[in-house]
Amino acid sequence: MDGTALNEAVGGIVWLTGLSGAGKTTIAQAVYATLRAQGRRVELLDGDVIRTNLSKGLGFSKEDRDTNVRRVGFVCHLLARNGVVAIAAVISPYQTVRQEVRALGSPFVEVYVQAPLAVCEQRDVKGLYRRARAGLIQGFTGIDDPYEPPLAPDVVCCTDRETVAESVGKVLAAMAACGLG
């Protein structure tokens, strides 16, 4: 891409939300790879990576979770206004804060990565659900802290019933529909 193409690039935010283990990171990585292969300017902000860097020191209280989501949203908005497609894969359990991020004004695609809790628990390679069920982790989303599903997401990916490729196709189609394709 030459400088002119970069200046004309349309940026936006693709926000993947869902329970731990639902498949947010898997889908986000595949969308990222697809966009990179197309020569697009794209960044991936993964919840686990954000928590160890940008939001280090935050806990898991509602206030800290909201702060984390607002930080990720702010970074995504900065990237988007500079022609980058920012892909955020974060649990972001609360509807109100997700709406705040959407309201920042960038083209925004909300992707609800949905899988039944039992499936998420089966996929739990880190043992977080097991530890939460044993009372070793307090305030774990989906166990003893709520997850508020999106009221009207742009995309719903049912990862227990569809392939990664099918989910990615749905996200790319929604991106195209809002001018990010």
Using only C-alpha atoms, what is the Rg of the chain? 16
What pLDDT digit, counting tens, does each position of 67-109 carry?
999 999 999 999 999 999 999 999 999 999 999 999 998 899 9
Q: How far apart are CA 162 and CA 87, in angstroms?
A: 20
What pLDDT digit, counting tens, does each position of 167-179 carry?
999 999 999 999 8
CATH architecture of 3-177: 3-Layer(aba) Sandwich (3.40)
Instruction: Give 115 or 54, the one with higher predicted confidence.
Output: 115
Q: Mapping DSSP to helix (H, G, I), strand (E, B) and coil, where does residue 172 land?
A: helix
Over the chain, what is the mean pLDDT? 91
Contact 172, 181 (CB under 8 A): yes
Closest CA to 155 of 169, 142, 138: 169
Q: Known catalytic residue: 61? A: no
Q: How far apart are CA 45 and CA 15, in angstroms?
A: 10
In the predicted structure, residue 5 carries a pLDDT above the cut 90:
no
Q: How far apart are CA 181 and CA 177, in angstroms?
A: 7
Segment 111-126 shows an average pLDDT of: 95
Q: How far apart are CA 51 and CA 68, in angstroms?
A: 8
Say which of 20, 92, 106, 167 is annotated catalytic. Answer: 92
Instruction: Give 2 or 56, the one with higher predicted confidence.
Output: 56
Closest CA to 17 of 135, 151, 136: 151
- pLDDT for the residue numbered 3: 46
Q: How far apart are CA 62 and CA 157, in angstroms?
A: 26
